[in-house]
Chain A
Amino acid sequence: MSRLAQGGLIDRTRQLPFTFDGETMLGLAGDTLASALLAKGRHLVGRSFKYHRPRGIMTAGSEEPNALVTIRRGNHAIPNLRATTQELYRALDARSQNRFPSLDFDLLAVNDLLSPFFGAGFYYKTFMWPRSFWDRVYEPFIRRAAGLGRLGLEPDDRLHDKGFAHCDLLVIGGGPAGLIAALAAGRAGLDVILADEDFLFGGRLNAERIDLDDQPGNEWAAAIVAELRAMENIRLMGRTTVTGAYDGGIYGAVQRVADHLPAAPADVPEQIFWRINARHAILATGAIEQPIIFPGNDRPGVMMAGAVRSYLNRFAVAAGRSVAVFANNDTGHRTARDLLAAGVEVAAVIDTRPDATPQGDYPLLSGAQVIATSGRLGLREITVQTGSGRQRLRADCLAVAGVWAPALHLSCHLGARPVWRDDINAFVPADGAVPGMRAAGAVAGLRTTRDALKSGLAVAREVIAEHGRKAPRIRLPHCSDGPVECAPFWYVTAGKGRAWVDFQNDVTAKDIAQAHRENFRASEHLKRYTTLGMAPDQGKTANMAALAIMAGLDGRSIPEVGTTSFRPPYVPVSMAALGAQGAGRGFAPERLMPSDALARKRGAVFVELGLWQRPAWYPRPGETSWRQSCDREARMVRETVGICDMTTLGKIDVQGRDAAEFLDRIYVNNIATLAVGRTRYGVMLREDGFVMDDGTVARLGKRHFLLTSTTGAHDQVWRHLTFCAQVLWPDLDVQPSDVTEAWAQFAAAGPKARDLLHRLTQADISNDSMPFMSWREVKIGKITARLFRISYSGELGFELAVPAQYGPSLAEALEESARAEGGDWFGLEALNVLRLEKGFLTHAEIDGRVTLDDLGLGRMMAARDCIGKVMADRPALRAPDRMQLVGLKPAGASKQLLGGAHLFNPGDPVDREHDQGVITSQCFSPHLGHPIALALLRGGRGRIGEQILMHDHLRGVETLCAVCTPVFLDPEGGRMRG
């Protein structure tokens, strides 16, 4: 047992059983998985990525490169969690990774013996030949060996969520600088969010033995947190890592809501990915201790000294029975003093500085270096080089006290490079690196608690002033820690064996030397050639030493070698959190038609069109396929009457003195000549000359029009109209309004459509008083409705529009009237058949590449200018061999016509060079008794009566077709005019 008898910020009354690799152990509330494992004397927790080396817990924070574990099972398993940040909970089920069959005995550790072949750049050199080996040998091998933890293959059904927050000030990090800044801003009345990735606010105050005034640091922090919690204008977000800084004061943050619970309570998400809008931010993320690199430094038991103090002071865990310390600065001595005070044996302090003096009752080796370690699966002994020779020391833990590098990652996310400071041997964030963000505390290069508090308060005052508020007076406590002297010593050159720099990607000092030899000397080249810093930890404990080694190899300084930049996210974020609410229902809003409830009651089968939910067909008892229902509905419209909810059509109301002139400039055909009470088919182009959309225009008054746009093109058409009105011709007196959702609109089509509507409205809608392409107002009870005599089916047709709130009741009334006439609802499939039989267009034909002439509508073009007219006149857009709209019928044994299939001259090779066109839409025509199709065919209008071969490469179908006009039914239009 290495849990100390007293001390620590843990709850000794709450024991939590958990399992690691199937072995059940007991931890305490307040533990992380790492501290609970160390309390059981367990250092070995994982195998490394490339060489499968045994690896132990190295840090006590999110920078951890080694201690990656998988928790939970099946589709709830979460791989690659850092044991150092994973809170312990009752029955936590954790497993080590990257080992087979077990941690202690891993078969792929053979890679370690082959390591001479896996040096820097081996990816680029090893798998080159023979070429045929790539698919069958190399790639499968790499795929099996690559990666760390494994995802479950079943869908993850747990709830994740997205969050949106706004604040005056986002404080990132809840250590001393962040706490004091939040306190000052909070007292000044700012809206503040304080985010910290730990479950306990206080930062290093929880891990060090530092007194603030006469209070232990952790108690001082707890008192501040209590005050912050009581303020309504402060939101404390624990377990929340700010992962990225983005343009315009936006920060990404992942909040782990339930990762510390056995299971999330009902309706509580596991994690929330936040998008925080902050006018100002204070970066108070502290610093990350950097290792000193020496041979054998990856042996389990070799840890960062700051982590050893965290486990000792916060978790009451001694990381070893006999702990040696290897230091280039005074914090190594602090570590030794803390250990002795807790009754832990200190084997020695090995200080690289020749002039170091002891600061307590422990053996000190000044001017000395650790040059080797031994022990199979954990540290047993270290070898120290002193001025007088070598000596061996027994130790089961080696605490390495190196330089603390500011955790400045977020300051690089908008592209700024950090600035080197010789006095502290570290990079600090550049001023103005992220607009609105200021750094405070250790991340700004400050090295004592008192200085951190001072800088936190100072930047908070600046923010408060920018908000025009008065800063509160806050007295800073006296702090017991003093300045830290630190030597710029990064790596040991003596000794044999591999010295690890990037633990997560298995990059050694030798790999860096090799990159140097092969002239990959710039920091960005070094990174890509050796993969240093490219693991999920982004080299948080590797980059600095690597730069120092590279600098030492050719006599440059660290800033001359450069620094690698950092990108979001600061820590890995699960896809589930990033994609929260992005799958299944709720991914996009659903738009429901007025007849939605009625259609669902009728058992309609729905299809999504844009965001609209539209009935595709209404099955009746006995109908077993969609075709049966569709054919019946299409026949019903041709023989009696059908009704259909057309509300999804875009509707744009255009009013103003210049409304007619405006529409003349929009549509290719004349609109100004349209009489009040009449309706006209219209086509509009894009400015590049291609067709944008078609629809109807009704003239409601002299200065008042109503346009329809295609359901799927409405957004584009609406944007286009407002663009023309506001940007191109602001001098025209015209006001378009989008009234799509203000009106419910239903079609009634078929020989009995007039009877149906007369039954409903009692209005005189005879052919004389209401001819084809007219509109009028009618009364339905007390409601004024608009009745349009238009047809998308080729039958006698009307569309009836009422204010949207009356839509559902009109749907019921229509259904009743339709049934009385022997009709019923028809769905989108039947609508498609009806329009195809008539050769009416959809956006399957208007695909953005067709001209007015391609569609056979060239004669519609008026003489005056309109949008797109100049460009439509380009020679290539008038070429006679362009793809033109035609109809197709089967002319051979095969009757199958398939949408998307291409057309070829019979006898030609069926390849791209000989392509003659493509089928845009097809259906089975119940009226004709065979399939029909619309197609775009090269020079098609001149080929009516010829034969063409449909070849579908995807489905392997060939059908000989006859080319015909695109109107299959009633070409004179007598049915809809009658």
Chain B
Amino acid sequence: MKLACPLCGARDIREFHYQGAASLADRPDPGAPEARQEFLDYVYMRDNPAGENRELWFHAHGCGAWLVATRDVTTHEFLSVRLATDKEPTT
């Protein structure tokens, strides 16, 4: 498999580290009243969709960029990839 790093182009999947669901990017507010419950969900709870999944990938053996990729987990096809530091697509 290859993953198209926005900085490096299509690279072998083994250059990347898979971190997990992209929901990890949305760290709860530690000062919120229900912070502990929100952190429990944030740290431990994941959706398990049979289809499109938003994921975090790290180009560990490449440029060091964190990527947000949308992948169809039933076919392993990457539907989109962007840098984590880029704004969410407007569409």
* B contact residues around A277 at 8 Å (CB): 2, 12
Nearest chain A residue, comparing its CB with the CB of B31: A865
Q: Contact: B43 with A726, CB < 8 Å?
A: no
- Known contacts A247-B76, A687-B43; A727/B56 CB under 8 A: yes
* 8 further A-B pairs in the complex, CB-CB below 8 A; given A248-B13, A727-B56, A865-B31: A247-B76, A248-B2, A715-B60, A726-B83, A726-B84, A727-B25, A870-B30, A873-B36
Which residues of chain A come closer than 8 Å to B17, judged between CB atoms? 719
By the criterion CB–CB under 8 Å, are A250 and B1 in contact? yes
Within 8 Å of chain B (Cβ to Cβ): is A631?
A: no
CB-CB contacts below 8 Å: B56-79 with A: 56, 58, 60, 64-66, 75-77
Interface residues on B, range: 20 to 34
- 1/0 per residue A714-740: CB within 8 Å of B? 010001001100111010000000100
Cβ of A874 within 8 Å of any chain B Cβ, yes or no, is yes
Q: How far is the CA of A797 from the CA of B42 in the complex (A)?
A: 42
Question: B residues within 8 A CB of A728?
Answer: 25, 27
Chain A residues within an 8 Å CB radius of B66: 722-723, 726-727
Q: Are A870 and B36 in contact (CB under 8 A)?
A: yes
CB contacts (< 8 Å) of B43 on chain A: these are 687-688, 871
For A245-271 the 0/1 string (1 means CB < 8 A from B) is 011111000000000000000000000
Which residues from chain A contact B36 at a C-beta distance below 8 Å? 870-871, 873-874
A-B pairs, top 9 by smallest CB distance, nearest first, are A248-B1, A865-B30, A726-B66, A247-B76, A730-B85, A870-B39, A727-B84, A727-B25, A247-B1
- B8 interface residue per 8 A CB criterion: no
With an 8 A cutoff between CB atoms, is B19 at the interface? yes
Per the 8 Å Cβ criterion, residues 715-773 of A in contact with B are 715, 719, 722-723, 726-728, 730, 738
Q: Name the B residues within 8 Å of A871 (CB-CB).
A: 36, 39-40, 43
CA A687 to CA B2, docked complex, whole Å: 30
Q: How far is the CA of A247 from the CA of B39 in the complex (A)?
A: 35
Residues of A within 8 A of B75 (CB): 247, 435
**A719 and B2: CB pair below 8 A?**
no
- CB-based nearest A residue for B17: A719
A732 smallest CB distance to B (angstroms): 11
Give the Cβ gap from B42 to chain A, nearest Cβ, in Å.
8
* Minimal beta-carbon separation of B33 from chain A (angstroms): 12
The docked-state distance in angstroms from the alpha carbon of A928 to that of B12 is: 54
A-chain residues with CB within 8 Å of residue B85 when the two chains form the complex: 726, 730
Query: Could you write out 30 A-B pairs with CB less than 8 Å apart?
Result: A247-B75, A247-B76, A248-B1, A248-B2, A248-B76, A250-B1, A277-B2, A277-B12, A435-B75, A435-B77, A687-B27, A687-B42, A688-B43, A688-B44, A719-B19, A719-B58, A722-B66, A723-B19, A723-B58, A726-B66, A727-B24, A727-B25, A727-B84, A728-B25, A728-B27, A865-B30, A865-B31, A869-B30, A870-B30, A873-B36
Residue of B nearest to A864 (CB): B30
CB distance B35 to A870 under 8 Å? yes
Q: In the complex, what residues of B have CB within 8 A of residue A249's CB? A: 2
Task: Select from chain A the residue with minimum beta-carbon distance to B68.
Answer: A727
Contacts of A687 in B (CB 8 A): 27, 39, 42-43
Which single residue of chain B is at the shortest CB-CB distance from A686?
Answer: B43
When distances are taken between beta carbons in the complex, the residues of chain B under 8 Å from A874 are 36
CB nearest neighbor in A for B64? A722
A246, A730, A870, A871 — most chain B CB neighbours (10 Å): A870
A250 contact set on B, CB distance < 8 A: 1
CA distance A738 to B61 in the complex (A): 12
Bound together, the chains give a CA A39 to CA B41 distance in angstroms of 73
Complex: chain B residue closest to A246, CB-CB: B1
Chain B residues with CB under 8 A of A247: 1, 75-76
CB neighbours (8 Å) of A688 from chain B are: 43-44
Name A875's closest neighbour in chain B (CB-CB): B36
A873 to B40 CA separation, bound complex (whole angstroms):
12
Interface membership of chain A positions 862-904, coded 1 if the CB is closer than 8 angstroms to chain B and 0 otherwise: 0001000111011000000000000000000000000000000
Which residues 830-876 in A have Cβ within 8 Å of B in the complex?
Answer: 865, 869-871, 873-874
In the complex, the answer to whether A722 meets B58 with C-beta atoms within 8 Å is yes
Minimum CB–CB distance for A822 against chain B, Å:
45
Residue of A nearest to B66 (CB): A726
**Interface residues in B18-53 (C-beta closer than 8 Å to A):** 19, 24-25, 27-28, 30-31, 35-36, 39-40, 42-44
Q: How far is the CB of A103 from chain B (nearest CB, A)?
A: 47
List A contacts of B28 (CB < 8 A).
870
Q: How far is the CA of A247 from the CA of B3 in the complex (A)?
A: 12
Report the Cα distance A722→B60, complex, angstroms. 10
Which residues of A lie under 8 Å from residue B19 when comparing CB positions?
A: 719, 723
Q: Can you name the residue of chain A whose Cβ is closest to the Cβ of B65? A: A726
> With a CB–CB cut-off of 8 A, which chain B residues contact A719?
17, 19, 58, 60
For chain A, residues 615 to 641, give those with C-beta under 8 angstroms from any C-beta of chain B. Answer: none
Tell me the minimal C-beta distance from A849 to chain B in angstroms.
15
Q: How far is the CA of A248 from the CA of B85 in the complex (A)?
A: 26
Cα–Cα distance between A730 and B13 once the two chains are bound (Å): 25
- Chain A's nearest CB lies how many Å from the CB of B10? 9
- Which residues of B have CB within 8 Å of A435? 75, 77
- Minimum distance in angstroms from B70 CB to a CB of chain A: 16
CA A719 to CA B20, docked complex, whole Å: 13
In Å, the complex CA distance between A730 and B65 comes to 12
Q: Which of A561-576 contact B (CB under 8 A)?
A: none
A246→B40 CA distance, assembly (Å):
37
Q: From A736, which residue of chain B is reached at the shortest CB distance? A: B64
0/1 interface trace, chain A 430-462, chain B, CB 8 Å (1 if under): 000001000000000000000000000000000
What's the nearest-Cβ distance from chain B to residue A737, in Å? 9
Nearest opposing residue in chain B for A726, CB measure: B66
* Residues in B whose Cβ lies below 8 Å from that of A738: 64
- Complex formed: what's the CA distance from A874 to B40 in Å? 10
Residue of B nearest to A719 (CB): B58
Closest-CB distance, B23 to chain A (whole angstroms): 11
Contacts of B44 in A (CB 8 A): 688
Given A250-B1, A719-B58, the answer on whether A730 and B84 have CB atoms closer than 8 Å is yes
Q: Using Cβ atoms and an 8 Å threshold, which residues of chain A touch B84? A: 726-727, 730
Chain A residue contacts of B2, Cβ below 8 A: 248-249, 277
